[in-house]
Amino acid sequence: MAAAASVLALLLLAAAAAREADGYVAYNTSAGTVAGLLNVHLVPHSHDDVGWLKTVDQYFVGSNNSIQGACVMNTLDSVVDALARDPGRKFVVAEQAFFQRWWVEKSPSIQAIVHDLVDSGQLEFINGGWCMHDEAATHYIDMIDQTTLGHRVIKQQFNKTPRAGWQIDPFGHSAVQSYLLGAELGFDSVHFARIDYQDRAMRKQDKGLEVIWRGSRTFGSSSQIFTNAFPVHYSPPNGFGFEVLDDISPVQDDLLLFDYNVEQRVNDFVSAAIAQANVTRTNHIMWTMGDDFNYQYAESWFRNMDRLIHYVNKDGRVHALYSTPSIYTDAKHASNQSWPLKQDDYFPYADSTNAYWTGYFTSRPTFKRYVRMLSGYYLAARQIEFMVGGLFTSSLEDAMGIAQHHDAVSGTAKQHTTDDYSKRLALGASQVEKSVNIALDCLISSKGTCRSPAVKFSQCQLLNISYCPSTEEQISGGKSLVIVAYNPLGWEHSDYIRVPVNDIHLVVKNSDGSLVDSQLVEIDTVTDNLRKLYVKAYLGINTDKPPKYWLVFQASVPPMGWNTYFVSKSTGTGSNKMGYVSSISSSNKDTVEVGPGPLKMTFSSASGQLTRIFNSISGVDLPIQQSFLWYGSSTGDVIDSQASGAYIFRPDGATPTAVSRSVPLKVIRGPLVDEVHQQFSSWISQVTRLYKEKDHAEVEYTIGPIPVNDGIGKEVITRLTANMVTNGTFYTDSNGRDFLKRVRNYREDWDLQVTQPVAGNYYPVNLGMYVADGKYELSVLVDRSVGASSIQDGQIEIMLHRRILHDDGRGVGEPLDEVVCVDNKCDGLTARGTYYVNVNKLGHGAHWRRTTGQEVYSPFLLGFAHEDERSWKSYSTGKGSMMDAKYTLPDNVAIITLQNIDDGTVLLRLAHLFQAAEDPKNSVMAKVELKKMFGKRTIKKLTETNLSANQKKSEMRKLNWRVVGDTESGPAPIVGGPVDGQAFVVELGPMEIRTFSLKF
């Protein structure tokens, strides 16, 4: 060390003499990696949240700085100027929502400079999505869509394809992220900061922070990806941040000025580099040179990094260089090192003993539902857009892309920011809805053209609270209420339509004039009250006269097609008799059995609680209970001040409080549906519906306003308890795709020290979860992202709502206390939603979970109009499909994208819905005949692409990695072969998603 110090001193004297001569030092920053030395890859970046403490546009333009001094416009302006000064400098950009806002404002001369910077590799796009999406509360289709949106504009503007995933801030990492939003995009690597604190400590000891991640048990090594978990965070090592207004330690290399510190700064750099090298493999380490909303004066960073690189390299003990995740990954790959294997996911995430980030799985449940509902709607609207032509759904893509951000759908932004997310979605959805109303008229026209004037269709986004002006309107003047149901699924879908009406004398007919059985169910008081409050809150409309009944009937709609139903006044005779009016049932027996079909549920007359599920077809007979409970939100204690909050779930004890032991019960019966109404408390009610043709129960809950006048925040769960021995094991989905095995109080990668026996066993659920024993599978599907667990054998518990009075100290700076205000009066938010319950024999539940889950995600799109039925039929095709008659996709395949692109092509994605070995009949190769799927349209050209459609599938390159002790065995994954350009038959193996660019 003494010799090195002498060399450094001589170099410094020489540098001082050079500066004294002309006042200028040319810093050498252009060097690449050097063999035989520790290479420190400096990756300049700014982590720019697409909304968090401020809204996305406030962050972009730099307004509302009393909350946070942040302006992404300044960052991008400043970075481009700084990069142009020195060709050795580099910077990485992730969020396209910001970059595209900036890009469209730039002059041709600035755009030309940026093109040069991108082409030279100084400016690199990483991740490349519209945002850095969340990985717990997002649906895989939304993750794909927002990534594709960003990748498409990068490809159009720069002809570049991002190579690296950069998920540095999401709060845990999903299996789907690794293999689908990683390897299947063509990424070579993924990089992030947040993993469990126990996991990180173990991995630092074993030099296992960097791994080969195989997130898919179905695909194994064929979809693996190099994964880099940072040693601490996504900021630089202590003392090496250089944001201009921070308390920084700049590199001062002018001997004519005081505080000259080059030797000290070089020594600090070498020490920090060696310390990090001790927790990773190979002679390459990464320093993430940036933090939240940094580089607003980029020269402050680059000036100091220039000097560090220059003097550290002259010192020679380690080697520093400007780098990017792609350069870093290539260097790691070239080392021919063997890497540890990681499987499944990185959930749940905790950053300290009592800080499990599992609360955000449920936070802001109504916003989560809004995002999920619009996701399915967006998919259906784009299909209709494809069939009639145009690009009218683009008004929703920016808002939907932003909503997937890891502080948006996660529920972890400030309230005003969440309101902004909702407003953007509402404005975009409103524009799409207007266009869909016009497009529906074009779609069903018997002449194949749009009529003028068009039929005035309307849609009802608040049907769940019985608000639908079109159906509530009196049917008169010889007209009928016309309901056009569009089915976005690839198979025929039969489901029940429920619309609010005011008339009891109604009859329903289908498109060929046949009478359709219908049932009238009186609308309950809870729904009436919700409607009155929330229609006023959302729309500013007073609704003093609520509708009286739900009109219920079964609709059957062909795949990717429509069917028309006519609701008219009943004459009361012959085939024009009105529908069945439901009756309220009473019983003197100890139990009440409900269900008009083979599925039956039994409730206790004394307690009003569920006691049994029975299916006469499958032979399932399972004792089961269901109840609502709440965990008190911890505010911290004398040992640890950590509170429960928007991010963190910390209950104030392991045992939740039961809302009620005895529940008033009301049973409504009819030929199509039986309903069980339960009032658990003044703020929790539930309606369980059993339909004649369904083998599962639909459970609609209404929770709120959650009372907090006792000063206690509450986290509300529904719990199903069955007589099952499940051995601590349960299964939850990953972003709506793979089901992963979970074992209570256990982690496969390390010996878990249990500190939070409830919160530490919660996992994100987007599709559903199930438990199984040697006889049965008990499954629950959900309509939005939630947190869920199985805390005791035979139990499923799902957190449905949270209202918390303290902040959890992770930056958002306000409690999760959502309120709704009308006429200056505010009360807590009420959440309404639905979950779906089924019991199957062991090994037979997968088909229901997959197909019904897809139907929950993609319900009918309903259009309403008032027209003369005879006139309507003269110019409309009552029933039709894009597909050939009698053709349908197999049960194991879903259409997840059908979208017109602005270059005249059409983007198609098909997804196999089953994992390998999940179901004996459906975990097999599936085939889709595109000629039959597209009916009368002729495919002129088909090109298979990667997942985000920014490169041909045939041109994707994959790096091969060595894995420590790799013993992968078993059959190779089943994947589809090339598509013949004449037959156009697409094969899909289990869990495979294939993406195509089509020209017609």
pLDDT per position as a tens digit, 214-233: 999 999 999 999 999 999 99
* Burial of residue 341 (number of CB atoms within 10 Å: 0-12, 13-18, 19+): buried
Evaluate if pTM is beyond 0.75: yes
Phi, psi of 302 (to 5 degrees): -65, -35
Whole-number pLDDT of residue 31? 85
Q: Which residue has the tokens 């002449």?
A: 447
Residue 66 has which token pair?
Answer: 């009393």
- 3-state DSSP of 926-938: EEEEHHHHCCCCC
CA atoms within 13 A on the CB side of 245: 8
Whole-number pLDDT of residue 969? 75
pLDDT per position as a tens digit, 900-958: 999 999 999 999 999 999 999 999 999 999 999 999 899 999 999 999 999 999 999 99
Residue 48 has which token pair?
Answer: 């720019």
Candidates 234, 190, 196, 197; CA nearest to 215 is 190
- 3-state DSSP of 253-318: CCCCCCCCCHHHHHHHHHHHHHHHHCCCCCCEEEEEECCECCCCCHHHHHHHHHHHHHHHHHHCCC
Strand-pairing partners, residue 700, are 687, 834
- Cβ atoms of 253 and 307 closer than 8 Å: yes
Q: Can you tell me the distance from the alpha carbon of 84 to that of 983, in angstroms, rounded to the nearest whole number? A: 52
Whole-number pLDDT of residue 3? 54
Among residues 49, 134, 145, 169, which one is catalytic? Answer: 169
Question: What 8-state DSSP symbol labels residue 518?
Answer: E
- 3-state DSSP of 849-906: HHHHHHHHHCCCEEEEEEECHHHHHHHECCEEECCCCCCCCCCCEEEEEEEECCCCCE
- Cβ atoms of 676 and 688 closer than 8 Å: yes
Whole-number pLDDT of residue 6? 54
Residue 34 pLDDT greater than 50, yes or no: yes
User: Which pLDDT band, with edges at 50, 70 and 90, does 575 fall under?
Assistant: very low
Q: Can you tell me the distance from the alpha carbon of 428 to that of 400, in angstroms, rounded to the nearest whole number? A: 9
Strand-pairing partners, residue 743, are 729
Q: Which long-range contacts (CB under 8 A, 24 or more apart) does 462-465 make?
A: 462/531, 462/534, 462/535, 462/538, 463/498, 463/499, 463/500, 463/862, 464/832, 465/527, 465/530, 465/531, 465/534, 465/535, 465/832
Q: For the residues 547-572, what does the mean pLDDT come to?
A: 95
Strand-pairing partners, residue 669, are 583
Quote the percentage of the chain above a pLDDT of 90.
91
Q: Is 725 left (phi over 0), alpha (psi -120 to 50) or beta?
A: beta
Q: Can you tell me the distance from the alpha carbon of 551 to that of 693, in angstroms, rounded to the nearest whole number? A: 17
User: Which pLDDT band, with edges at 50, 70 and 90, does 510 fall under?
Assistant: very high
- Cβ atoms of 841 and 773 closer than 8 Å: no
Q: Can you tell me the distance from the alpha carbon of 429 to that of 550, in angstroms, rounded to the nearest whole number? A: 26
- Cβ atoms of 831 and 704 closer than 8 Å: yes
Cα-based angle 628, 630, 631 (whole degrees, multiple of 5): 150
Question: What 8-state DSSP symbol labels residue 239?
Answer: T
Q: For the residues 105-118, what does the mean pLDDT come to?
A: 98
Residue 240 pLDDT greater than 70, yes or no: yes
Candidates 836, 817, 838; CA nearest to 828 is 817
- Cβ atoms of 683 and 803 closer than 8 Å: no
- Cβ atoms of 701 and 626 closer than 8 Å: no
* Burial of residue 507 (number of CB atoms within 10 Å: 0-12, 13-18, 19+): buried
- What are the residues whose beta carbons fall under 8 Å from the beta carbon of 774, sequence distance 6 or more? 725, 842
Whole-number pLDDT of residue 768? 98
Phi, psi of 818 (to 5 degrees): -75, 135
Of residues 572 and 478, which shows the higher confidence score?
Answer: 478
Amino acid (1-letter code) at residue 267: N
SS3 390: coil
Q: Can you tell me the distance from the alpha carbon of 25 to that of 19, in angstroms, rounded to the nearest whole number? A: 6
Q: How many CB atoms lie within 10 A of CB 872?
A: 19
Whole-number pLDDT of residue 983? 95
Question: What 8-state DSSP symbol labels residue 405?
Answer: B
Q: Which residue has the tokens 């795949």?
A: 559
pLDDT per position as a tens digit, 244-280: 989 999 999 999 999 999 999 999 999 999 999 999 9
SS3 509: strand
Q: Which residue has the tokens 């269901």?
A: 626
pLDDT per position as a tens digit, 186-201: 999 999 999 999 999 9
Whole-number pLDDT of residue 587? 72
Whole-number pLDDT of residue 10? 53
Length of the chain as a residue count = 1000
Candidates 820, 736, 865, 559; CA nearest to 175 is 736
Q: Can you tell me the distance from the alpha carbon of 339 to that of 211, in angstroms, rounded to the nearest whole number? A: 5
Beta strands in 334-405 (DSSP E): 338-339, 341-343, 350-352, 355-356
> Helices (H) and strands (E) in the chain — how many of each?
19, 51
Quote the percentage of the chain above a pLDDT of 70.
97
Whole-number pLDDT of residue 455? 83
The torsion of the CA quartet 102, 107, 108, 110, rounded to 10 degrees, works out to: -70
User: Which pLDDT band, with edges at 50, 70 and 90, does 578 fall under?
Assistant: low
Whole-number pLDDT of residue 357? 98
Q: For the residues 320-334, what does the mean pLDDT come to?
A: 98
User: Which pLDDT band, with edges at 50, 70 and 90, does 127 fall under?
Assistant: very high
User: Which pLDDT band, with edges at 50, 70 and 90, does 971 fall under?
Assistant: confident
- Cβ atoms of 254 and 17 closer than 8 Å: no
| Distance in angstroms between the alpha carbons of the first and the last residue of the chain | 70
Q: For the residues 53-77, what does the mean pLDDT come to?
A: 98
Q: Is 213 left (phi over 0), alpha (psi -120 to 50) or beta?
A: beta
142's enclosing H/E stretch is helix 140-158
Q: Is the dihedral of CA 460, 462, 468, 469 positive or negative?
A: negative
- 3-state DSSP of 659-672: CCCCCCEEEEECCC
- 3-state DSSP of 154-191: HHHHHCCCCCEEECCCCCCCCHHHHHCCCHHHCCCEEE
Residue 573 pLDDT greater than 70, yes or no: no
Candidates 676, 34, 103; CA nearest to 331 is 34
Whole-number pLDDT of residue 588? 75
Residue 927 has which token pair?
Answer: 């085939």
Residue 274 has which token pair?
Answer: 């060696």
Q: Can you tell me the distance from the alpha carbon of 760 to that of 445, in angstroms, rounded to the nearest whole number? A: 56
User: Which pLDDT band, with edges at 50, 70 and 90, does 451 fall under?
Assistant: confident
SS3 380: helix
CA atoms within 13 A on the CB side of 349: 21
Q: For the residues 592-605, what does the mean pLDDT come to?
A: 95
Q: Give me the helix-helix angle, 108-120 and 72-85, nearest 10°.
A: 60
Residue 913 has which token pair?
Answer: 């819905």
- Cβ atoms of 41 and 321 closer than 8 Å: yes
* Residue 169 annotated in active site: yes
